[in-house]
Amino acid sequence: MEPTNDHEREIARIVDRIDTEGRLGLASIQEVVSSVDFMMVGSDTEFLANYVRWRMGHPIQKWASKYY
pLDDT at 67: 57
Alpha-carbon gap, residue 42 to 5, rounded angstroms = 14
Q: Sign of torsion, CA 32 23 9 46?
A: negative
Q: Measure CA 9 to chain center.
A: 8
pTM (2 d.p.): 0.86
Q: Domain extents for the chain?
A: 12-57
Alpha-carbon gap, residue 64 to 36, rounded angstroms = 22
pLDDT at 61: 72
Alpha-carbon gap, residue 39 to 66, rounded angstroms = 24
pLDDT mean values, one per 10 residues, the chain (68 residues) = 96 96 93 97 97 94 58
